């Protein structure tokens, strides 16, 4: 499936899925230099894909960015939520 369909399948945005591909967290193919990203259902059913969905549900925008203790780093320190 393409990026849009893969994102819909997972229930995340296409930007989120593409970022996971760029990090190497989720496998995808780009068969043509300027063509669409192609995802297998198997790649979208991995533990990494499940973690991506869970991180979105929990509101964690950058699940891959942690400090040396493994704690999440805030995107903006001065903004109260």
Tokens of 5: 């369909």
Domains of the chain by start residue, with CATH: 1-81 (1.10.1660)
CA end-to-end span of the chain, whole Å?
36
Q: pLDDT (tens digit, 9 = 90+) per residue, 5-43?
A: 999 999 999 999 999 999 999 999 999 988 899 999 999
Record the pTM: 0.68
Q: Which has the higher per-residue pLDDT, 71 or 23?
A: 23
From the list 42, 23, 40, the residue with the least C-alpha distance to 31 is 40
pLDDT band per the 50, 70, 90 thresholds, residue 72: low
């Amino acid at each position: 499936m393409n990026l849009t369909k893969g994102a819909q399948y997972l229930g995340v945005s296409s930007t989120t899925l593409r970022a996971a591909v760029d990090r190497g967290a989720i496998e995808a193919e780009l068969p043509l230099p300027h063509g669409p990203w192609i995802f297998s259902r198997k790649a979208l059913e991995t533990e990494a894909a499940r973690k991506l969905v869970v991180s979105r549900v929990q509101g964690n925008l950058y699940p891959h960015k942690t400090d040396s203790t493994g704690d999440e780093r805030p995107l903006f320190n001065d903004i109260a939520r």
